[in-house]
A and B are shown apart, each in its own frame.
Chain A
């Protein structure tokens, strides 16, 4: 019976599945293909004189600046992993395997850094712990301490690493939750200290999730943009994404072919990482199915001093990666001057917010961001669900193709996907009327958020036990009907949770709009980047503050709706 039941659905919904997957391939491959095509031309593809050439590759591989940016990016990415993975693993251990006090309500808080855009973080840090930041000045006056510069590669790595701890925590903690505790207890009983147990027993058992988290963070490190743009660029620290951003200025003409080559070089680095992730994900699922049958884990006792140390560590980390940047932005948003010899109380003002309201493009940006996040987020969840269903219990080759299409956009930074869609909406005749509308940004956001969004949806879909679908099927329901009447109603709460998470992802997005944004389609994150080029720091701070407020509201909503931030 089971073999026919498994065969049948594939045949039945084949048309739907193929249509969805074909549409997905079109939406993903158009920007990716355009970038690859552009990289083999000697001028912008829309220039009539452009022809096939390896000139751009030749320029890039012989440009010492490219190699230096490449090296810096690699150091940054690996450094970030070196900071984030041990801390994230430790955090996961403390919150899932021990009796740490208050771990229940601590859990949502430790995820907060993940939801702040790195450009907001970077601005916040420069006001808080920059050379004239209020924390730096306070430390200097009271303790005589001098922080080392955050405008260095080391500072960037530390900030990037600390802000990516939650990404590691998510994967490692979900692996740790499914571990049986008998091995740990045995080690404890034989007299091993709790830290010994975590290092020698717990960690080896969750090694796949550690490798997965490392691969993911390496990928995010290679694509990072906000932190190097704000903190590194003034000191001449250039990474691949800021190299792309600046290469136009160096030539004085649109050098899309050179930008495309750099993007291709990024794909070459990130695609293997994506592949590793896919391998691990498949193995992890198999592994979890075996491990999940273990007895309910009994938490390890930390003891009084252990509690104190653990709380001290977590408190310090939260102070540095949440309180400081948010505090920095909050201060900057309400003053017009800060720094050495400036009394903040003399400079208090709400005029930056008044400017946001009075300046049409900024005000529109706020409305657009909210519309994209709330309405666009809902549409995105609907579309991700359609894609998710097409891949649901789809073990055939089209399912594998779908997996790759979902992961592929992750190999590209948002700034490049935005640029590719800018071209698509500029040059594909029937699409041009959509360019000055939010639809253009929505489509790009949809692709940028694809892999994250689909992971949430897939996790939700997997919660539905196959028996339920099979029961509907044996009672004569069609596949479509079993989805409509069984699967979707069951996962409805999960969908609402997914919506709130996608909302946050769209709220904080800033890189995708850099080339795509125009009059009428301003969004807050990208406005911050473009205001940086005109130097309007007051408005940037006000926008960043609002974006934190919106994100907090989104996160509150997500928790209320019971969103599962875990896989």
Chain B
């Protein structure tokens, strides 16, 4: 207990030191920000901290967090959780009137939409809103923060080069024709454990006609399912699995740079892309600091910081690594971006989910 307290005190002192040195910078407002924004900054500073529940890896969020701390001198409690945990925590804490997060930042767009509809998220008109594509904004409540196409990750030493799928159709064909040789060697997201896995499955189901064929072939080949892209990377690099599909593409590109055995392929006929979405929570313990952080995430600087760790920005006019041109080139221009809209909540209808999972489990057993 004591050690924890002194640790917190230490980090507070450190941020306080930064805040004085960067004071001048924080006062200059970016273009397009309202004049009373300085009041929001002052209020946020008096709140002193901002708490974030997120499914984004802490290592990816860290440059953004550090820059925010240095710019405003506000401490950041970064709570890395799975997508379902972000959602469950906001629901339970909201019900108890004990909201612990100021920002909910998650890849599970559909779960976030449910939170919005349940009235657990705050309406906030961000001065950055005009810089976002229309499909990245829902009623000034849910904001898209990145565009994330999915990729296929494979082990170059083990998967025959002629087997590497270049399109979704080739992936389906590969699993159907070589299922026996690939038995136990294919990985993908688990829609039961992972919110993003479910969202991707729904998108594939709605946007392609081959979803159940793919699922069936995957099940027949005794495919393995994981709750996170990182777990799939571990298996592909070690050679336990040869190919993983629906892996978050920005991670995959990063891993390709790090490891000589990792190959990445984007399907040129159809590539689903989701958006990481962020919102200010209702009943946030630090409401002004939460708003400030959301704006910072969407600002030009925030988006570049995310890009520096491989999170592709969606801000209009952004040019640099992982910008729209680059992403389009990678995916052959056939990126199907999931829009932030009300329809996402349909995924959550209990009946619909029960039916989907029943069919999914059947497919996983290799039955039709």
Contacts and interface: CB of A to CB of B under 8 A. Distances in A.
A245 to B, nearest CB: 8
Contacts of B91: 253-254
Nearest to B350: A251
Given A355-B59, A519-B100, A364 B4 contact: yes
Contact of B353 (A252, A363, A536): A252
Contacts of A253: 91, 114, 348, 350
Contact of A339 (B82, B187, B228, B238): B238
Interface of B: 1-4, 7-8, 11, 51, 55, 57-59, 62, 77-85, 88-89, 91-93, 95-96, 98, 100, 110-111, 114, 155, 157-158, 184, 187, 190-195, 198, 222, 224-234, 237-240, 258-259, 261, 347-348, 350, 353-354, 357, 361, 364
A246 B192 contact: yes
A289 B365 CA distance: 56
A132 B240 contact: yes
A82 B240 CA distance: 29
Contact of B95 (A47, A530, A532, A533): A47
A361 B238 contact: no
Nearest to A342: B261
A535 B7 contact: no
Contacts of A448: none
A234 interface: yes
Interface in A496-536: 518-520, 530-536
Contacts of A364: 4, 7
Contacts of B114: 252-253
Q: Is the interface of B mostly helix, strand, loop or mixed?
A: helix
Contacts of A360: 11, 78
Interface in A350-384: 355, 358-364, 367-368, 370-371, 375
A130 interface: yes
A359 B194 contact: no
Contact of A234 (B95, B225, B261, B350): B225
Contacts of A131: 184, 239-240
Given A249-B194, A361-B78, A519-B100, 10 more contacts: A44-B92, A126-B240, A132-B240, A249-B193, A250-B353, A360-B78, A368-B4, A437-B1, A531-B80, A532-B228
A275 interface: no
A535 B231 contact: yes
A105 interface: no
Contacts of A46: 92, 95-96
Contacts of A248: 84, 88
A363 B62 CA distance: 14
A149 B233 CA distance: 20
A248 B353 CA distance: 12
A555 to B, nearest CB: 22
A190 B351 CA distance: 72
B230 A537 contact: yes
Interface in A223-264: 233-236, 246, 248-254
Given A234-B226, A249-B84, A249-B195, A535 B258 contact: no
A65 B354 CA distance: 12
Nearest to A47: B95
A358 B61 CA distance: 13
Q: Is the interface of A mostly helix, strand, loop or mixed?
A: helix
Contacts of B84: 248-249, 533
Contact of A426 (B1, B78, B98, B228): B98
Nearest to A340: B239
B224 A537 contact: no
Contacts of B354: 250
A519 B49 CA distance: 12
Contact of B240 (A130, A436, A519): A130
A338 B237 contact: yes
B80 A534 contact: yes
Contacts of B231: 234, 532, 535, 537
A242 to B, nearest CB: 9
B77 A438 contact: no
Contacts of A359: 58-59, 62
A341 interface: yes
A432 interface: yes
Nearest to A436: B100
A336 interface: yes
A435 interface: yes
B238 A130 contact: yes
B100 A337 contact: no
Contacts of A233: 190, 193, 225
Interface of A: 44, 46-47, 65, 126-127, 130-132, 149, 151, 233-236, 246, 248-254, 336-342, 355, 358-364, 367-368, 370-371, 375, 422-423, 426-427, 432, 435-438, 518-520, 530-537
Given A249-B194, A254-B92, A534-B228, A518 B3 contact: no
Of the candidates A65, A253, A336, A423, the one having the most CB atoms from chain B within 10 angstroms of its own CB is: A253
Nearest to A367: B3
A126 B234 CA distance: 11
A528 to B, nearest CB: 12
A522 B193 CA distance: 22
Nearest to A433: B98
20 contacts: A126-B240, A249-B191, A254-B88, A336-B259, A337-B237, A337-B258, A339-B237, A339-B239, A341-B158, A342-B237, A359-B62, A362-B58, A368-B4, A426-B98, A436-B100, A518-B89, A534-B82, A535-B234, A536-B57, A537-B233
B361 A249 contact: no
A151 B187 CA distance: 14
B77 A426 contact: no
Contacts of B85: 530, 533
A254 B259 CA distance: 39
A340 B226 CA distance: 20
Contacts of B259: 336-337
B4 A251 contact: no
Nearest to A358: B62
A465 B11 CA distance: 53
Contact of A533 (B184, B194, B222, B348): B194
B238 A132 contact: yes
A534 B227 CA distance: 7
A372 to B, nearest CB: 9
A437 B8 CA distance: 12
Contacts of B350: 251-253
B57 A534 contact: yes
A535 B3 contact: no
Contact of A132 (B190, B225, B239): B239
A436 B49 CA distance: 15
A375 B5 CA distance: 14
Of the candidates A252, A337, A361, the one having the most CB atoms from chain B within 10 angstroms of its own CB is: A252
A339 B261 CA distance: 10
A85 to B, nearest CB: 32
Contacts of A355: 59
Contact of B1 (A340, A371, A427, A533): A371
A234 B224 contact: yes
Given A130-B238, A337-B259, A533 B227 contact: yes
